[in-house]
Structure 1
Amino acid sequence: MNTNPHDDTLTTADGRTALRMERRLAHPPERVWAAITEPASLRQWFPSEVSVELAPGGAMGFRFPGVSGPGMTGTVTDVDEPRLFAFTWGTDHLSWTIAPDGEGSLLTLVHTFDDLPGAASFAAGWHRCVAALGRLLDGAPVAVGRDTGELHETYVRRFGLGRGSVDNEAGVKRIRLERQLVRPAETVWDVLSAGIEPVAGLPVPEGFTAEKVPAGHVTEVRAPKFLTYTWDPDAAVSWELGEGTGHGARLVVTQTGPPDADTDAALAAWRTRIDRLAAELLEQ
């Protein structure tokens, strides 16, 4: 089975993002169809337990093992056995297309969603799930497992995620970078602070700074979620660690000002700093 993440693509249109994966399976479409539509088979490789009314407009339910409370819901949008199965999952849409490919099949997944920074998490998750589907069809032991982070970071590079942006609104220059990380906020904070806990009024620990961007003094800190420091009345940097895709913390770094800032150089510096942080987190 083809499992090369570099064959996968990401496109954006009308504010939505579409992840496309193609995998060749050595099994006829009828067998693949059963594996992606029958709940007993789905629970062995799909990321949640699934209930489904297999008809257009049919209800779907998604429940993660070990998670209490009501599960997520969806609706079947397309059923064309053994060619097409598509459905909503919350606000996301998933389309599974099966085409004959010699004696086997070509399986194509298109996952459409709103959260562009989460694309690497989704891609890494589906990569492992579809690989498990292939093992199920082959009659081999099935274990989806969790990504240690390397596959996630491969997709970050593949899709060019976390590149950041610069805007100049009302005369205020702002740099913003958002990136999904692979470790929880507490771990990220420990790596950033490196044993020097930030304190308001004191110099910011080096881990929260970037080369060619001045350091300064901490003005606000709420460990392990938020830190702001300033070095100029019109310049500040903030680090925010929030909820992401469930694979780790979502990082947002923002620099505002100063008016004479070289934003291209600063953006490049923050990209380098966050890339280095992501690499350090893989060792945790």
Structure 2
Amino acid sequence: MTQRLDINPYGRVTEPATLVIERLLPGPASRIWRYLTEGDMRRQWLAGGAMEEKAGAPFELVWRNDELTDPPGNRPEGFGEEMRMKSRVLEVQKDKRLVFTWGESGEVSFDLKAEGDEVLLTVTHRRISDRANLLMVGAGWHMHLDILAARLTETRSEPFWDGWLKLKDDYDRRIPA
């Protein structure tokens, strides 16, 4: 995997309630697409849950972050072993773009762009409720994408919770109050 100098692993706030984060991943796009849309594949880096690849289709994301890395790290107080969120698919362009609701008010889009043997994955999370959630979401997407990259390159990732806590502090310093 090559390193593009214009890709920063940290998310950036592009509007007051929007976070954009990018990763250059080993392709092809169809492989990345499976990790976005197939519940068993998505479960390995983000959250499980069956998803119909059809606009309007409801689905549920099921997080079990303790299962993402071995060891999982130290789960912070206030986080359970499992979290669930109802969502709805808004847009599907196979191997190119997936958009779905994030709970009741947010929205997440995944855009895939082939770059030679690699794929630029751009995640855009819109309508984040406040700065506290922006820090958690930024650290969450960052850590989850690090795990996805590790899966795709067959390397090990930092323990999920330890990495998330460090990243949350990083995002607190990076994102203006």
TM over 0.5: yes
Runs of 4+ residues deviating >4 angstroms: 141-144
Confirm whether residue 108 of structure 1 aligns to residue 108 of structure 2: no
Q: What are the within-5 Å matches in structure 2 for residues 1-284 of structure 1?
A: 4-6=8-10, 8-12=11-15, 17-46=17-46, 48-65=47-64, 66-67=81-82, 71-90=84-103, 91-117=105-131, 118-141=133-156, 145-146=160-161, 147=163, 149-161=165-177
Contact 1:78 1:84 in 2 (8 A): yes
CA gap of 1:144–1:64, structure 2 versus 1, over 3 A, is same
Q: Name the one with the larger strand percent.
A: 1
Relative contact order: is structure 1 or structure 2 higher (C-alpha 8 Å, sep ≥ 6)? 2
| 1:26 Cα offset (Å) | 2.0
Structure 2 CA distance, aligned partners of 1:41 and 1:144? 19
Q: Which runs of 5+ in 2 are unaligned?
A: 65-80
Contact 1:5 1:155 in 2 (8 A): no
Q: Which runs of 5+ in 1 are unaligned?
A: 162-284
Q: Which has the larger radius of gyration?
A: 1
3-state SS of 1:149 partner? helix
TM superposition score normalised by structure 2: 0.77
Contact 2:52 2:59 in 1 (8 A): yes
How many positions carry a matched residue from both structures? 154
| 1:18 Cα offset (Å) | 0.7
Letter matched to residue 11 of structure 1: T
Structure 2 CA distance, aligned partners of 1:101 and 1:64? 30
After superposition, the C-alpha distances for 1:46-91 in whole angstroms (9 at most, x for unaligned) are 0x322211111111112234448xx321110011011001100212
